[in-house]
Chain A
Amino acid sequence: MSEQTTIRMPDTSKLVVSSSPHYHDMGSIPKIMFTVLAALAPAVFASIYFFGWRALLVLSVCMVSCAAIEALLCRLMRRRISIGDGSALVTGLLLGMTLPVTSPLWMCIVGSFIAIGLGKMVYGGLGGNPFNPASVGRVALLLACPSAMTTWVTVSGCALNKWVVDATTGATPLELVAQNQPGPGFWSLFLGNIGGSIGETCTLALIVGGVFLIALKIIRWQIPVFFIGTVFLITGIAYMVSPCPKFNPMTHVLSGGLMLGAFFMATDMVTSPLNRKGAVVFAIGCGIITTIIRLWGSYPEGISYAILIMNALTPLIDRYTAGRPFGVARKASQKNA
Chain B
Amino acid sequence: MIDIVMMTGTGVLLGLAIGLVVRYFGVPVNPLVESLNELMPGANCGGCGLAGCSDYANAMATGRAKPGLCPVMSAEAVAKCCELLGVESDTTEPKIAVVCCSGDDDHAAKQAFYNGVNDCLNAMLVAGGSKGCTYGCLGLGSCARACPFGAIEMLPNHLAKIHADLCTGCGKCYMACPRNVIKLVPRSAAKVHVYCNSPKKAPIKRTVCKAACIGCRKCAKTAGEGQIIMNGYLASINYDNPPAEGIVEVCPTKCLRKAD
Direct contact of A and B (CB under 8 A): yes
Q: Mark B116-147, 1 if CB is under 8 A from A, else 0.
A: 10000000011100100000000000000000
- In the complex, what residue of chain B is closest to A15 when comparing beta carbons? B112
Q: Is the CB of B113 within 8 A of A15?
A: yes
Q: How large is the interface on A (under 10, 10 to 19, 20 to 34, 35 or more residues)?
A: under 10
- B114 close to A (CB within 8 Å): yes
Least CB distance from B172 to A in Å reads: 25
Q: Considering the chains assembled together, what is the distance between the CA atoms of A15 and B114 in angstroms?
A: 9
Q: Mark B143-167, 1 if CB is under 8 A from A, else 0.
A: 0000000000000000000000000
Total contacting residues, chain B, CB less than 8 A: 9
- B30 close to A (CB within 8 Å): no
Which of A15, A16, A17, A19 has most chain B Cβ within 10 Å? A17
Q: Is the CB of B116 within 8 A of A19?
A: yes
- Which residues does chain B contribute within 8 Å of A14, judged by CB atoms? 112-113
Which of A15, A16, A18 has most chain B Cβ within 10 Å? A18
- In the complex, what residue of chain B is closest to A14 when comparing beta carbons? B113
- In the complex, what residue of chain A is closest to B128 when comparing beta carbons? A17
- In the complex, what residue of chain A is closest to B125 when comparing beta carbons? A19
Q: Is the CB of B125 within 8 A of A17?
A: no
Q: Is the CB of B125 within 8 A of A16?
A: no
Q: Considering the chains assembled together, what is the distance between the CA atoms of A16 and B130 in angstroms?
A: 9
Least CB distance from B219 to A in Å reads: 33
- Which residues does chain A contribute within 8 Å of B113, judged by CB atoms? 14-17
Interface of chain B, helix or strand or loop or mixed?
loop
- Which residues does chain A contribute within 8 Å of B126, judged by CB atoms? 17-19
- Which residues does chain B contribute within 8 Å of A17, judged by CB atoms? 112-115, 126-127, 130
Q: Mark A1-39, 1 if CB is under 8 A from B, else 0.
A: 000000000000011111100000000000000000000
- In the complex, what residue of chain A is closest to B127 when comparing beta carbons? A17
- Which residues does chain B contribute within 8 Å of A18, judged by CB atoms? 114-116, 126
Which of B112, B115, B116, B130 has most chain A Cβ within 10 Å? B112
Q: Considering the chains assembled together, what is the distance between the CA atoms of A15 and B111 in angstroms?
A: 8
- In the complex, what residue of chain A is closest to B109 when comparing beta carbons? A13
- Which residues does chain A contribute within 8 Å of B127, judged by CB atoms? 17
- Which residues does chain A contribute within 8 Å of B116, judged by CB atoms? 18-19
Q: Mark B199-217, 1 if CB is under 8 A from A, else 0.
A: 0000000000000000000
CB proximity to B under 8 Å, residues A251-307: none
- Which residues does chain B contribute within 8 Å of A19, judged by CB atoms? 116, 125-126
- In the complex, what residue of chain A is closest to B122 when comparing beta carbons? A19
Q: Mark B212-231, 1 if CB is under 8 A from A, else 0.
A: 00000000000000000000
Q: Considering the chains assembled together, what is the distance between the CA atoms of A220 and B36 in angstroms?
A: 58
Q: Considering the chains assembled together, what is the distance between the CA atoms of A14 and B112 in angstroms?
A: 6
Q: Considering the chains assembled together, what is the distance between the CA atoms of A60 and B113 in angstroms?
A: 41
- Which residues does chain A contribute within 8 Å of B114, judged by CB atoms? 16-18
Least CB distance from A102 to B in Å reads: 45
- Which residues does chain B contribute within 8 Å of A16, judged by CB atoms? 112-115
Q: Considering the chains assembled together, what is the distance between the CA atoms of A17 and B130 in angstroms?
A: 7
Q: Considering the chains assembled together, what is the distance between the CA atoms of A15 and B112 in angstroms?
A: 5
- In the complex, what residue of chain B is closest to A20 when comparing beta carbons? B126
- In the complex, what residue of chain A is closest to B130 when comparing beta carbons? A17
Q: Considering the chains assembled together, what is the distance between the CA atoms of A2 and B112 in angstroms?
A: 37
Q: Considering the chains assembled together, what is the distance between the CA atoms of A14 and B127 in angstroms?
A: 15
Q: Considering the chains assembled together, what is the distance between the CA atoms of A17 and B112 in angstroms?
A: 6
Q: Considering the chains assembled together, what is the distance between the CA atoms of A141 and B127 in angstroms?
A: 53
- In the complex, what residue of chain B is closest to A16 when comparing beta carbons? B113
Least CB distance from B145 to A in Å reads: 17
Least CB distance from B44 to A in Å reads: 25
Least CB distance from A141 to B in Å reads: 36
Least CB distance from A267 to B in Å reads: 30
Least CB distance from B255 to A in Å reads: 25
Least CB distance from B207 to A in Å reads: 12
- Which residues does chain A contribute within 8 Å of B115, judged by CB atoms? 16-18
Q: List 12 A-B contacts (CB under 8 A).
A: A14-B112, A15-B113, A16-B112, A16-B114, A17-B112, A17-B113, A17-B114, A17-B127, A18-B114, A18-B115, A18-B116, A19-B125
The residues of B with any CB-CB pair to A shorter than 8 Å are: 112-116, 125-127, 130
Report, nearest first, the 6 A-B pairs whose CB atoms are least far apart. Answer: A18-B115, A17-B112, A17-B127, A15-B112, A16-B113, A18-B116
The residues of A with any CB-CB pair to B shorter than 8 Å are: 14-19
Other A-B pairs beyond A16-B113, A17-B115, A19-B116, 19, CB < 8 Å? A14-B112, A14-B113, A15-B112, A15-B113, A16-B112, A16-B114, A16-B115, A17-B112, A17-B113, A17-B114, A17-B126, A17-B127, A17-B130, A18-B114, A18-B115, A18-B116, A18-B126, A19-B125, A19-B126
